[in-house]
Chains A and B, each alone.
Chain A
Amino acid sequence: MSAQAKGLGAGPRSRFNSWLHHHRQSAYESLNKQLLTPISTLLTWLVLGISLALPATVLVALDNIDRLTAGVDRSTQFSLFLQADTEEAAAEDFVADLAQRSDVATATLIPADRALQEFAADTGLSAVVATLDDNPLPHTVVVRPIAMGAAALADLAAVFDRMPEVSQVVLDTRWIKRLISALEFGRRLTYAIGAMMLVGALLALANTIRLEIEARRAEIVVIKLIGASDGFARRPFLYTGLWYGIGGGVIASGLVFGLLWLLAPPVNELLRLYDSDKVLMGLGAIGALQLVLIGGAVGLMSAWQATAVHLRRVEPR
């Protein structure tokens, strides 16, 4: 009696090859089936595509805002107003000490006299300034910190404020902190909404696959009767889900590109008016690839969900 007649089936190597072959065949046939019904396939792709595209577009926008404010951070500077009775020589020593600090890039002294002259020149109030008996301005130190985050800037401001030579520290960090918090909030909100939209799309896809299982009920019953494993019966549907997901990811990438293309001219014009050399940054190839991968994963998960729940129920009766 041959090995096959004993019910052992084919040898392991040939079995692996045919397993691979069935994968290829399932992949090809399920893609082919989708392309043969282009309208309904496109609608299914759009369900996932839109669910992916909206959060992706918002994330790209947030990334752009983040990138623009990174430039603002680097131009941050402190103005330290020294105590009114500080001598100019003492002020120079203080500035020299400040410049030694590792968190300070540059420290420049603006002596009170020069500050007054500049004030008179800038404001055109030299006549008024000339009537003053005393110079009301203190010596001022302009400190440029090394690049650091908003929280570190606030800490540094506190350090300066505690120095005995310093009477007042001026640094407007609040708007930066607010912006950073707002961006973080926006990002998290987008993740949350995006996750919900993806779950919705996943359930919609799972339902589509459930309908396909129903439509192929007779076939599933027959192949189970003649000895198909659950895995064999499941395989075409997993590929169906994968193709829906990948198609949805491609649609999503296209939608994001389209939206940004529409937004780019006014945004770039706005940036130019603010003398920025930056332009609106798009999704990029890696972003697009990520969308396709996320789409594929969602599609596969929805197929897994649908087959786990519904394929089991399709049993020969």
Chain B
Amino acid sequence: MIEFKRVSKRYESHDALRDISLTIDTGEMAFITGHSGAGKSTLLRLLLLLDRPSSGELSVNQRPTSAIKRRGIAAYRRNFGIVFQDHQLLFDRSVFDNVALPLVIAGFGRRDVNRRARAALDKVGLLDREGANPASLSGGEQQRVGIARAVVARPRILIADEPTGNLDPDLSAEIMELFRAFNRVGVTVLIASHDLALISRMRHRIITLHEGRLIEGEGR
């Protein structure tokens, strides 16, 4: 469960988030939307402890994040699978090694790494490309590799920041279906997207931000 309690984030000159109270239940799938600059990215940054709230409290699984010190951040982030708009793949290694990275970081044995990475690649339909360099894949395929990497360590929470930002509508729908499939097996999914046409068809909660305020979808 993710819980924002009266969270504000102020950068030097402006308020990125103002007094946000929001609960996302375990196993829920929700979208965050709003114009660019509305605070979507800031919300995700706070959740990943890339930044700390200026005021208010953010808890994940009943644990206040303010109690997590610098040393604990790495372990905390392993609760999440993250999908980036520009997928952030490493082009100096194979598709397989990209997907296996979270497992290596989490300290899985080699046999587990092989088995799970292949299973994740199979889920996104790219098992036959495991030896390829990610640079040789299409944009949609790269994003699917990014998703495989995000889910490979079986995180409890999957976060995606504009995952379909660079994809055409058909590919976007396909990617969203993938997220829905993970949600069906119990993963909490939180997706920031401004593709309103796409997300309104998905029939999940839509959280709308406007100039740092929550204007719709606070939930419960």
Contact B153–A4 (Cβ < 8 Å) = yes
- Is the CB of B149 closer than 8 A to any CB of chain A? yes
Contact B82–A226 (Cβ < 8 Å) = yes
- Is the CB of B48 closer than 8 A to any CB of chain A? yes
> What chain B residues lie within 8 Å of A193 (beta carbons)?
none
Query: Which of B98-106, B127-135, B162-170, B204-212 lies on the face that meets chain A?
Result: B98-106
Contact B74–A222 (Cβ < 8 Å) = no
Q: Which residue of A lies closest to B149 (CB)?
A: A226
Q: Interface of chain A, helix or strand or loop or mixed? A: helix
> What chain A residues lie within 8 Å of B78 (beta carbons)?
7, 9, 226-227
Query: Contacts A14-B108, A18-B109: A225 and B48 contacting too (C-beta < 8 A)?
Result: yes
- Is the CB of B112 closer than 8 A to any CB of chain A? yes
Question: Could you tell me the distance between the alpha carbons of A228 and B71 in the complex, rounded to whole angstroms?
Answer: 11
Instruction: Using C-beta atoms within 8 Å of the partner chain, give the interface range for chain A.
Output: 20 to 34
Question: Could you tell me the distance between the alpha carbons of A216 and B102 in the complex, rounded to whole angstroms?
Answer: 18
Contact B75–A18 (Cβ < 8 Å) = no
Q: Interface centre among B48, B50, B79, B106, by most A CB within 10 Å?
A: B106
> What chain B residues lie within 8 Å of A219 (beta carbons)?
90, 92
> What chain A residues lie within 8 Å of B110 (beta carbons)?
18, 21
> What chain B residues lie within 8 Å of A15 (beta carbons)?
107
> What chain A residues lie within 8 Å of B213 (beta carbons)?
none
Chain A 219-232 against B: per-residue CB contact (8 Å), 1 yes, 0 no? 10111111111101
- Is the CB of A17 closer than 8 A to any CB of chain B? yes
Query: Contacts A226-B101, A226-B105, A228-B105: A5 and B156 contacting too (C-beta < 8 A)?
Result: yes
- Is the CB of A272 closer than 8 A to any CB of chain B? no
Contact A229–B74 (Cβ < 8 Å) = yes
Chain B 60-86 against A: per-residue CB contact (8 Å), 1 yes, 0 no? 000000000001001111111010000
- Is the CB of A119 closer than 8 A to any CB of chain B? no
> What chain B residues lie within 8 Å of A223 (beta carbons)?
101, 105
- Is the CB of B154 closer than 8 A to any CB of chain A? yes
Question: Which residues of A in the span 13-29 have a Cβ within 8 Å of any Cβ on B?
Answer: 14-15, 17-19, 21-22
Query: Contacts A219-B92, A223-B101: A14 and B107 contacting too (C-beta < 8 A)?
Result: yes
Question: Could you tell me the distance between the alpha carbons of A77 and B90 in the complex, rounded to whole angstroms?
Answer: 77
Contact A18–B82 (Cβ < 8 Å) = no
Query: Contacts A10-B112, A14-B107, A19-B107: A226 and B102 contacting too (C-beta < 8 A)?
Result: yes
> What chain A residues lie within 8 Å of B75 (beta carbons)?
7, 227, 229
Q: Which residue of B lies closest to A25 (CB)?
A: B104
Of the candidates A10, A14, A222, which one forms a contact with B88 in the assembled complex, judged by CB atoms under 8 Å apart? A222
Contact A232–B105 (Cβ < 8 Å) = yes
Question: Could you tell me the distance between the alpha carbons of A224 and B78 in the complex, rounded to whole angstroms?
Answer: 10
Question: Which residues of A in the span 222-246 have a Cβ within 8 Å of any Cβ on B?
Answer: 222-230, 232
- Is the CB of A313 closer than 8 A to any CB of chain B? no
Question: Could you tell me the distance between the alpha carbons of A15 and B77 in the complex, rounded to whole angstroms?
Answer: 18
Question: Could you tell me the distance between the alpha carbons of A226 and B102 in the complex, rounded to whole angstroms?
Answer: 6
> What chain A residues lie within 8 Å of B48 (beta carbons)?
225, 316
Question: Which residues of A in the span 117-149 have a Cβ within 8 Å of any Cβ on B?
Answer: none
> What chain B residues lie within 8 Å of A316 (beta carbons)?
48, 50
Contact A317–B50 (Cβ < 8 Å) = yes
Contact A17–B109 (Cβ < 8 Å) = yes
Query: Contacts A4-B154, A7-B156, A14-B112: A226 and B90 contacting too (C-beta < 8 A)?
Result: no
Contact B108–A10 (Cβ < 8 Å) = yes
Question: Which residues of B in the span 126-177 have a Cβ within 8 Å of any Cβ on A?
Answer: 149, 153-154, 156
Q: Which residue of B lies closest to A18 (CB)?
A: B107
> What chain A residues lie within 8 Å of B76 (beta carbons)?
227
Q: Which residue of A lies closest to B77 (CB)?
A: A227
Contacts A4-B153, A222-B90, A227-B74 known; list 12 others, CB within 8 Å.
A5-B154, A9-B106, A10-B106, A10-B112, A14-B108, A17-B109, A18-B107, A218-B90, A219-B90, A226-B77, A227-B75, A229-B105
Shortest Cβ-Cβ A-B pairs, 4 listed: A227-B78, A227-B77, A229-B74, A15-B107
The 21 sampled A-B contact pairs (Cβ below 8 Å) are A2-B154, A5-B154, A7-B75, A7-B78, A7-B79, A9-B107, A9-B108, A14-B107, A14-B109, A223-B101, A223-B105, A225-B88, A226-B77, A226-B78, A227-B76, A227-B78, A227-B102, A230-B71, A230-B74, A232-B74, A316-B48
